Structure 1
């Protein structure tokens, strides 16, 4: 009877956790759509639009190591609740300033940086919370459920947000983020199961030692190390696309940043691909293993972004973006799930945050900055995306010449 009650409590708490993550992702997706549109409406500049994308990704590079070490030491539940509420407060400044007629592009960039800094610490706690909550034996199923549900949000919400942007100011839509942050905080606070085994921190020296331990594990596990480095090149390409999407839609496809529902379709493409990827990936890894999946998905991801780059009609670009979304999401989920499966529980936050810091926190802002600079220099957003394609090509080559991945693929085969 006791085991049944414990399992019921665990399932109930996992449901709260899932709903909290859905709310958080909903708010994040709304931001991802509205912030670039908002800045482009304010400035008409591809450079400022790229600056927002870079500001959203840069905190992972700056704070990733510290966040992972702290999340393995502190109470993760309290940490996540506090950060949700902080993000809600900061985001609320955008619609309030807009109503006062004082909103500027630098303000939006600062808000993007601050909120994503909070997200870095939240994400670090989240990486360790899920394995602790469900146990490693249920981790794959739990992560698939989490990713499947959040990708539904990523499929539906960008399109709806794109439609709303045609009617309502993007600044006003950011009030939604404040509400989702509060809702997520309340759900997380209601969880009764432990999300952590906090350890006391007696000084900065212990924190530095924790960071080093996480780095040693990440660098010492050859498959994780290679997948992380290759994943960084993939993030450069995706960062370039996010940075130039709105200018690309406007200048290449003739899709205006306001009042054109086709923009909503473009924002939905990656979510469609992610939905498909979340369905097929478990079967792919079971059949081929993580290394072989990476080797096959990366060239397909490269093909997808090339098709986006050369597309001239918005329907063809959407189809190519969906294809890219499938291959890209397979690359991302494959790397994360393998890392979590092989990582000890006491290192989950440090190792996973460090891996994400390198793969996404380095790649995404680099891709955004590169695309923005090249787009401004060339006067064409396609040139910025092409720069990201070149970096992704180097990652595909790196993966295929890597003896680590080829040996791991051969062992599974």
Structure 2
């Protein structure tokens, strides 16, 4: 609440909430749209693949660019262009020329623009609120977002029973335009230093990648995030087919679709409320070590469920522990990264987790689903999180669990340093 009293953070928070509202409508409508057009589980998985691949292709470049340019300007331009791109789907539908390839192209283009927005956003938040309030700020954004995740998907599910999914994407287009206006109104600088001069992009990219690879905390969380995202990508790619073929929840004219999306949101808000307290009490490394095994078990239980009520309960539990792991990774990375490297390091980490893990998981899930069924695909990919559990418990996180993690402007403890030959060493 103290953060929301800050007028600039309130504008930032409202921009994220408005944009998320529109994105949640698209989140429900787009898979339903492509599944309705094609009737194919693999095509539905392709939508999720198209959403993740842009991070792999453009993440490093976007991060380096966002550290050099004015972050506010990057966010505003990305929002405005996204409004136009998304608006093309309801326009094409209105003229009767909408096709499945068109939907995939839009999914790909909107995510390219989101990569540039996200790169600037990662660095903008620490500059806006200060490092001491990063955990609270991330929870405020995540908590507000998950309230919307409870409400909006259910409403979108109801709207899909009343109208075609294509026109609903107009809501997302308008939300991007409103978000751009709110971000433009923020008076506080969204970077602590002066944006860098043009040129030297490859050097900047290398600097961010080297920092990620040599910082034990950031590197470990990135690998864990990649494995976690593989499971999440496979699950989201097969969510609608799984509901349809396993639980009997139809993609249209079934109110339970909105309930299942809302359950995931309810779990997310519980995680947002608990995370600041648990991170202070346990420390972020312990949160990861304890909640990652729970995420693997909850995802497996969700896939094994055959009754929709049981599946909803397991889905809510999975949402809590899954969100805890995600919030920990983001907060730790922002805390230990210097401001001048924020966009580069965070987009490089997200490129590996979301850009690699998400589409690979979605594609594997789609292929397994086509060969067997969506339920088998979800069970198989949930089991992959177990690899992340083993990696986490053998990683430096176990050694660091009992000591405080310094911010970027503090001196790392000996356990957090690694013997890297000079002069290429980049300190945390």
Q: TM-score when scaled to structure 1?
A: 0.94
Q: How many angstroms does 1:401 deviate by?
A: 2.5
**Contact 2:138/2:327 (<8 A) preserved:** no
Match of residue 142, structure 2, among 124, 147, 160? 147
Q: Deviation per CA, 1:75-95, whole angstroms, max 9, x where unpaired?
A: 111111111010000001100
Residue in 1 that maps onto 2:62: 67
Q: How many angstroms does 1:278 deviate by?
A: 0.7
**Contact 2:300/2:383 (<8 A) preserved:** no
Match of residue 100, structure 2, among 105, 108, 121? 105
Matched ranges for 1:111-260 at <5 A: 111-196=106-191, 197-203=193-199, 206-260=200-254
**Contact 1:65/1:211 (<8 A) preserved:** yes
Residue in 2 that maps onto 1:96: 91
Q: Deviation per CA, 1:151-202, whole angstroms, max 9, x where unpaired?
A: 2112211111111111111101000011101100111111222113443433
Residue in 1 that maps onto 2:329: 335
SS of corresponding position for 2:162: coil
Task: Tell me the matched-pair count.
Answer: 403
1:50 aligns with 2:45: yes
Looking at secondary structure, tell me which structure has more helix per residue: 1
Residue in 2 that maps onto 1:348: 342
Cα distance in structure 2, aligned partners of 1:30 and 1:166: 13
Cα distance in structure 2, aligned partners of 1:412 and 1:130: 22
**Contact 1:60/1:120 (<8 A) preserved:** yes
Residue in 1 that maps onto 2:381: 388
Range that drifts further, 283-292 or 89-98: 283-292
- The answer for unaligned runs of 5 or more in structure 1 is 1-6
- The answer for unaligned runs of 5 or more in structure 2 is 406-428
Cα distance in structure 2, aligned partners of 1:412 and 1:213: 26
1:306 aligns with 2:288: no
SS of corresponding position for 1:92: helix
**Contact 1:10/1:133 (<8 A) preserved:** no
SS of corresponding position for 2:384: helix
**Contact 1:52/1:112 (<8 A) preserved:** yes
Q: Residues 371 and 187 (structure 1 numbering): CA distance in 2 closer, same or farther, change over 3 Å?
A: same
SS of corresponding position for 2:186: coil
Residue in 1 that maps onto 2:425: none
SS of corresponding position for 1:254: coil
Cα distance in structure 1, aligned partners of 2:344 and 2:3: 30
Cα distance in structure 2, aligned partners of 1:192 and 1:289: 33
Match of residue 319, structure 2, among 303, 309, 325? 325
Residue in 2 that maps onto 1:23: 18
Q: TM-score when scaled to structure 2?
A: 0.91
Residue in 2 that maps onto 1:406: 398
**Contact 2:233/2:360 (<8 A) preserved:** yes
Cα distance in structure 2, aligned partners of 1:70 and 1:184: 21
**Contact 1:50/1:372 (<8 A) preserved:** yes
The two structures, once aligned, show a CA RMSD in angstroms of 1.7
Q: Deviation per CA, 1:232-255, whole angstroms, max 9, x where unpaired?
A: 111111111100111111111111
Q: How many angstroms does 1:143 deviate by?
A: 2.2
Q: Residues 247 and 208 (structure 1 numbering): CA distance in 2 closer, same or farther, change over 3 Å?
A: same
Cα distance in structure 2, aligned partners of 1:286 and 1:8: 18
Cα distance in structure 2, aligned partners of 1:8 and 1:138: 8
Cα distance in structure 1, aligned partners of 2:259 and 2:42: 23
Q: How many angstroms does 1:9 deviate by?
A: 12
